[in-house]
């Protein structure tokens, strides 16, 4: 049965959207319509900014103990709504149930981890005669994507609130189904009115109105590079502070001494996590010419063996992608890769057999060159490009020959040597031989993958301004 979504969370209350624009929410799994949603508008933005501005003085003056207590309330509320969050993730954008559970569990954990950052040392330090105060930057707008809404919302809000900022979320309208249980959790957490607000709407008008508003001091975006450039331009007149976590086209470099049994699963996991719908996906797999045949065969066998299907089934490795628009976009890249002379090693165009009903894509592996479109542009789906290099210097050159620099991976037999190679890759994070969960280490990108860093103490620093007071 199709439902109706018509609510925002503003000034501590669930209120109807002020806009008239409607968005149709479809299931990634079946393609059926789940809901019709009414989007927010500039009037909703104005109310949310006013509420956040009004709440800022009292919130930034809360004691550290009070702030830690509120962060725990948010963690508890997210835990209470975890089942609904998992179901919504799976239904709306097709991630598998185990991945959805991981995303939602980490969503709660961000609020727990942020409590450890709420200490005197975070906010005050002494440098000779100077007392350095780290003070909240002000009202912060948090713009989040659709590929795991609860995770991004919690990650950003946890440190923004810990810093003493009030926040306004602008989640992607393409993730509005996932956002509903998050709104329920935020409403039940019991924070003071106006400290957290949610306005769901399109980039135009809602995103533009928020990022141009003179009372907004900070914008944090996770999204595309194109959107990041718009936000940077929108904020320049009022010198908004920005954190931009943008696109990626990450390389997985398999070195000549890599263990095949370890390197191939590592590359597949890095490239196809979340059905390939991840900014950190290692979608360019670089292999040495000396082992080209065996690595192509092993990678093709690994990708071909992945079960594609219903994301609620426990043995499904790859579920559907978000929507028909995303499906068509991925198909166009596969087609372009083959038209440009790429060698199809696994997968290809069209739906997997028997899965024509949802937005299912065949996990695809194409051998190409780093100059081909399929190796240059972010696809955001289960498509990997295999690129052969002649020697290690060329591997590093190819890995760095990208507009992006968010993430990278290195598979190496000699771990110390793998770390040496990793240091030469221009990426914000590089993982050697394993996909590692490191929520307290800095996250962010080089080049057109963004500006600034998130996670842990690096994340909270992005929501603090520095004030120096001298006295003798």
- C-alpha 12/C-alpha 16 separation (Å) is 13
Q: Which residues pair with 218 in a beta bridge?
A: 140, 241
Residue of 92, 173, 245, 454 marked active site: 245
The reply to whether 165 belongs to the active site is no
Q: Which residues pair with 284 in a beta bridge?
A: 251, 385
- C-alpha 113/C-alpha 159 separation (Å) is 9
Which residues are CB-neighbours of 227 under 8 A, at least 6 positions away? 143, 203, 207, 221, 246
Burial 409-448 (b: 16+ CB within 10 A, else e): bbbbeeeeebeebbebbbbbbbbbbeeeeeeeebbbbbbb
Residue of 91, 165, 173, 279 marked active site: 279
Max intra-chain CA distance, the chain: 77
Backbone angles phi, psi at 166, to 5 degrees: -95, 155
- C-alpha 174/C-alpha 201 separation (Å) is 9
Q: Is the peptide bond before 205 cis (omega within 30 degrees of 0)?
A: yes
> Which strands make up the sheet holding 383-389, listed edge to edge?
343-346, 364-367, 383-389, 284-288, 251-254, 407-411, 429-432
CB of 170 closer than 8 Å to CB of 216? no
C-alpha atoms less than 13 angstroms from C-alpha of 181 in its C-beta half-sphere: 22
- C-alpha 67/C-alpha 162 separation (Å) is 7
- C-alpha 70/C-alpha 59 separation (Å) is 11
**Secondary structure E strands in 163-276:** 166-171, 196-198, 218-222, 241-245, 251-254
- C-alpha 116/C-alpha 105 separation (Å) is 18
Name which of 396, 379, 377 is nearest 448 in CA terms: 377
The reply to whether 279 belongs to the active site is yes
The total of other beta-carbon atoms located within 10 Å of residue 83's CB is 12
Provide the angle, in degrees to the nearest 10, between the axes of the packed helices 97-115 and 82-93.
130
Angle at CA 384, nearest 5°, toward 383 and 389?
A: 160
Provide the angle, in degrees to the nearest 10, between the axes of the packed helices 64-80 and 97-115.
170
- C-alpha 149/C-alpha 422 separation (Å) is 30
List, by residue number, the catalytic residues.
245, 279
């Amino acid at each position: 049965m199709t439902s109706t979504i018509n609510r925002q969370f503003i000034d501590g209350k669930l209120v109807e959207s002020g806009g008239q624009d409607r968005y149709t929410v479809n299931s990634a799994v079946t393609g059926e319509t789940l809901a019709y949603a009414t989007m927010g508008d500039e009037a909703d933005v104005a109310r949310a900014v006013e509420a956040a501005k009004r709440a800022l003085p009292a919130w930034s003056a809360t004691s550290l103990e009070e702030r830690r207590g509120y962060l725990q309330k948010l963690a508890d509320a997210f835990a209470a709504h975890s089942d609904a969050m998992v179901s919504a993730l799976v239904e709306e954008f097709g991630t598998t149930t185990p991945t959805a559970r991981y995303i939602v569990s980490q969503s709660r954990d961000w609020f727990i981890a942020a409590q450890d950052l709420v200490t005197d040392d975070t906010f005050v330090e002494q440098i000779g005669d100077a007392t350095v105060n780290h003070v909240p930057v002000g009202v912060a707008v948090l713009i989040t994507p659709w590929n795991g809404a609860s995770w991004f919302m919690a990650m950003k809000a946890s440190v923004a609130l810990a810093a003493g900022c009030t926040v306004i979320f602008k989640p992607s309208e393409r993730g509005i189904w996932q956002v509903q249980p998050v709104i329920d959790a935020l409403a039940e957490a019991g924070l003071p009115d106006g400290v957290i607000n949610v306005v769901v709407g399109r980039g135009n008008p809602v995103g533009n109105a928020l990022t141009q508003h003179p009372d907004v001091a900070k914008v944090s975006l996770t999204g595309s590079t194109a959107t990041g450039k718009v936000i940077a331009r929108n904020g320049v007149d009022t010198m908004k502070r920005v954190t931009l976590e943008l696109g990626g086209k990450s390389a997985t470099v398999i070195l000549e001494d890599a263990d095949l049994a370890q390197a191939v699963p590592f590359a597949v996991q890095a490239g196809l996590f979340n059905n390939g719908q991840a900014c950190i996906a290692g979608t360019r797999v670089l292999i040495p010419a000396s082992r080209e045949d065996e690595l192509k065969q092993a990678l093709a066998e690994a990708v071909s063996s992945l079960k594609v299907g219903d994301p609620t089934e426990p043995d499904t490795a790859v579920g559907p992608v978000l929507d028909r628009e995303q499906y068509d976009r991925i198909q166009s890249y596969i087609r372009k890769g083959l038209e440009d002379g790429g060698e199809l090693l696994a997968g290809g165009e069209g739906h997997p057999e028997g899965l024509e009903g949802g937005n299912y894509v065949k996990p695809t592996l194409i051998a190409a060159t780093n100059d081909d479109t399929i190796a240059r542009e972010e696809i955001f789906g289960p498509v990997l490009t295999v690129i052969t290099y002649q020697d290690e210097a060329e591997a590093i050159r190819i890995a760095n020959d990208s507009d992006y620099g968010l993430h990278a991976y290195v598979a190496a037999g000699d771990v110390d040597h793998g770390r040496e190679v990793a240091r030469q890759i221009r990426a914000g994070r590089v993982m050697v031989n394993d996909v590692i969960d490191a929520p307290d280490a800095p996250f962010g990108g080089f080049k057109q993958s963004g500006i600034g860093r998130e996670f842990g103490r690096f994340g909270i620093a992005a929501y603090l301004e520095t004030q120096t007071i001298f006295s003798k």
